[in-house]
Amino acid sequence: MAFCNSRLYLETLSPLGLMMYRLDTGQWEHIPAKFPRSLLDGYLVAGTQKRLFLVGRIGLYSTLQSMRIWELDHTKFVWVEVSRMPPRYFRALLRLSAERFECFGQDNLICFTSWNQGKGLLYDVDKKVWSWIAGCALQSYNSQMGFNLAYKVFESL
Protein backbone atom coordinates (compact mmCIF):
# COMPACT_ATOMS: atom_id res chain seq x y z
CA MET A 1 0.00 0.00 0.00
CA ALA A 2 1.29 3.49 -0.80
CA PHE A 3 -0.04 7.01 -0.41
CA CYS A 4 0.97 9.18 -3.36
CA ASN A 5 -0.44 12.43 -4.79
CA SER A 6 -3.50 12.38 -2.48
CA ARG A 7 -4.30 8.85 -3.63
CA LEU A 8 -4.08 5.53 -1.86
CA TYR A 9 -2.78 2.64 -3.99
CA LEU A 10 -3.33 -1.04 -3.18
CA GLU A 11 -2.14 -4.18 -4.96
CA THR A 12 -5.02 -6.55 -5.69
CA LEU A 13 -5.44 -10.08 -6.99
CA SER A 14 -9.02 -9.71 -8.17
CA PRO A 15 -9.10 -7.72 -10.29
CA LEU A 16 -5.39 -8.23 -10.88
CA GLY A 17 -3.50 -4.96 -10.74
CA LEU A 18 -3.91 -1.85 -8.67
CA MET A 19 -6.81 -0.19 -6.98
CA MET A 20 -6.62 3.54 -6.35
CA TYR A 21 -8.70 5.50 -3.86
CA ARG A 22 -9.06 9.21 -4.62
CA LEU A 23 -9.33 11.19 -1.42
CA ASP A 24 -10.85 14.21 -3.17
CA THR A 25 -13.82 12.30 -4.64
CA GLY A 26 -14.06 9.30 -2.33
CA GLN A 27 -14.03 7.00 -5.39
CA TRP A 28 -12.19 3.75 -6.06
CA GLU A 29 -10.69 3.09 -9.50
CA HIS A 30 -9.07 0.01 -11.01
CA ILE A 31 -5.72 0.61 -12.71
CA PRO A 32 -5.09 -2.18 -15.25
CA ALA A 33 -1.30 -2.21 -14.81
CA LYS A 34 -0.01 -5.77 -15.21
CA PHE A 35 2.64 -6.81 -12.75
CA PRO A 36 6.07 -7.68 -14.16
CA ARG A 37 6.63 -11.30 -15.19
CA SER A 38 8.12 -13.63 -12.58
CA LEU A 39 7.39 -11.20 -9.73
CA LEU A 40 7.42 -13.22 -6.51
CA ASP A 41 6.47 -10.47 -4.08
CA GLY A 42 6.27 -6.72 -4.14
CA TYR A 43 5.91 -3.51 -2.22
CA LEU A 44 4.43 -0.24 -3.41
CA VAL A 45 6.51 2.82 -2.49
CA ALA A 46 5.49 6.45 -2.98
CA GLY A 47 8.05 8.80 -4.48
CA THR A 48 7.97 12.54 -5.05
CA GLN A 49 6.06 14.35 -7.78
CA LYS A 50 3.40 11.67 -8.32
CA ARG A 51 5.96 8.87 -8.71
CA LEU A 52 4.83 5.40 -7.66
CA PHE A 53 7.34 2.56 -7.42
CA LEU A 54 6.97 -1.21 -7.23
CA VAL A 55 9.81 -3.04 -5.51
CA GLY A 56 10.03 -6.81 -5.68
CA ARG A 57 11.94 -10.02 -6.08
CA ILE A 58 12.09 -11.74 -9.44
CA GLY A 59 12.41 -15.50 -9.60
CA LEU A 60 12.11 -18.38 -11.98
CA TYR A 61 10.78 -21.72 -10.74
CA SER A 62 10.82 -20.36 -7.15
CA THR A 63 14.53 -19.54 -7.40
CA LEU A 64 15.37 -15.94 -6.61
CA GLN A 65 17.19 -14.13 -9.38
CA SER A 66 17.21 -10.46 -8.42
CA MET A 67 15.49 -7.52 -6.75
CA ARG A 68 14.11 -4.84 -9.07
CA ILE A 69 12.46 -1.45 -8.92
CA TRP A 70 9.79 -0.32 -11.39
CA GLU A 71 7.97 2.97 -11.79
CA LEU A 72 4.34 3.21 -12.88
CA ASP A 73 3.82 5.01 -16.18
CA HIS A 74 0.52 6.73 -15.36
CA THR A 75 -0.36 7.34 -19.02
CA LYS A 76 0.23 3.81 -20.39
CA PHE A 77 -0.50 1.94 -17.13
CA VAL A 78 2.66 -0.16 -17.36
CA TRP A 79 5.51 -0.75 -14.94
CA VAL A 80 8.84 0.51 -16.31
CA GLU A 81 12.01 -0.94 -14.80
CA VAL A 82 14.21 1.77 -13.30
CA SER A 83 16.83 -0.26 -11.42
CA ARG A 84 18.14 -3.67 -10.40
CA MET A 85 19.80 -4.33 -7.10
CA PRO A 86 23.45 -5.24 -7.73
CA PRO A 87 24.12 -8.96 -7.07
CA ARG A 88 26.50 -8.35 -4.14
CA TYR A 89 23.84 -6.34 -2.27
CA PHE A 90 21.16 -8.86 -3.17
CA ARG A 91 23.22 -11.77 -1.80
CA ALA A 92 24.05 -9.85 1.38
CA LEU A 93 20.45 -8.80 1.97
CA LEU A 94 18.83 -12.16 1.19
CA ARG A 95 21.15 -15.07 1.84
CA LEU A 96 18.36 -17.63 1.55
CA SER A 97 15.49 -17.64 -0.93
CA ALA A 98 12.92 -17.99 1.84
CA GLU A 99 14.17 -14.97 3.76
CA ARG A 100 11.75 -12.16 4.21
CA PHE A 101 12.55 -8.56 3.43
CA GLU A 102 10.83 -5.29 4.20
CA CYS A 103 10.85 -2.18 2.09
CA PHE A 104 9.70 1.38 2.68
CA GLY A 105 10.38 4.75 1.16
CA GLN A 106 10.30 8.49 1.55
CA ASP A 107 10.59 10.93 -1.33
CA ASN A 108 12.78 9.09 -3.86
CA LEU A 109 14.70 7.05 -1.29
CA ILE A 110 13.92 3.36 -0.84
CA CYS A 111 15.17 1.41 2.17
CA PHE A 112 15.44 -2.38 2.37
CA THR A 113 15.81 -4.45 5.53
CA SER A 114 15.82 -8.17 6.17
CA TRP A 115 15.82 -10.39 9.22
CA ASN A 116 19.47 -11.38 8.76
CA GLN A 117 20.84 -7.84 8.59
CA GLY A 118 21.55 -5.40 11.39
CA LYS A 119 21.69 -2.58 8.87
CA GLY A 120 19.60 -1.25 6.03
CA LEU A 121 20.24 -0.90 2.33
CA LEU A 122 19.30 2.48 0.87
CA TYR A 123 18.68 3.24 -2.80
CA ASP A 124 18.50 6.80 -4.09
CA VAL A 125 16.30 6.67 -7.20
CA ASP A 126 17.44 10.06 -8.50
CA LYS A 127 21.18 9.54 -8.00
CA LYS A 128 21.00 5.79 -8.79
CA VAL A 129 23.22 5.04 -5.78
CA TRP A 130 23.06 2.00 -3.48
CA SER A 131 24.55 2.28 0.03
CA TRP A 132 24.43 0.54 3.38
CA ILE A 133 23.14 2.54 6.33
CA ALA A 134 24.09 1.71 9.90
CA GLY A 135 21.71 -0.13 12.17
CA CYS A 136 20.47 1.24 15.47
CA ALA A 137 23.35 1.66 17.95
CA LEU A 138 21.04 0.85 20.86
CA GLN A 139 20.16 -2.61 19.59
CA SER A 140 21.51 -5.59 21.46
CA TYR A 141 23.16 -8.37 19.48
CA ASN A 142 20.71 -10.54 17.49
CA SER A 143 17.79 -8.19 17.98
CA GLN A 144 15.85 -6.64 15.15
CA MET A 145 14.22 -3.29 14.67
CA GLY A 146 11.17 -3.21 12.47
CA PHE A 147 9.78 -0.25 10.60
CA ASN A 148 6.07 0.29 10.18
CA LEU A 149 4.76 3.21 8.18
CA ALA A 150 1.22 4.16 9.05
CA TYR A 151 -0.93 6.48 6.99
CA LYS A 152 -3.78 8.29 8.63
CA VAL A 153 -6.55 9.81 6.59
CA PHE A 154 -8.53 12.53 8.31
CA GLU A 155 -12.04 13.30 7.26
CA SER A 156 -12.84 17.00 7.14
CA LEU A 157 -15.82 18.06 9.21
Residue 144: pLDDT over 90: no
| Range(s) of the domain holding residue 120 | 2-133
In this structure, is residue 157 part of a structural domain? no
63 located within any domain: yes
- What string of DSSP letters covers 51-104? -EEEEEEEEETTEEEEEEEEEEETTTTEEEEEEE--HHHHHHH-SSTT--EEEE
**What's the pLDDT at 96?**
60
Order of strands, sheet of 63-73, starting from the edge strand that comes earlier in the sequence: 39-46, 52-60, 63-73, 78-84
Tell me the C-alpha distance between 4 and 46, whole Å: 5
pTM for the complete prediction? Answer: 0.81
pLDDT score recorded for residue 76: 95
Number of domains in the chain: 1
What would the pLDDT profile of 32-57 be if each residue is shown by its tens digit? 899 998 888 889 999 998 999 999 99
Q: Write the single-letter amino acid at 40.
A: L
CATH of the domain at 79: 2.120.10.80
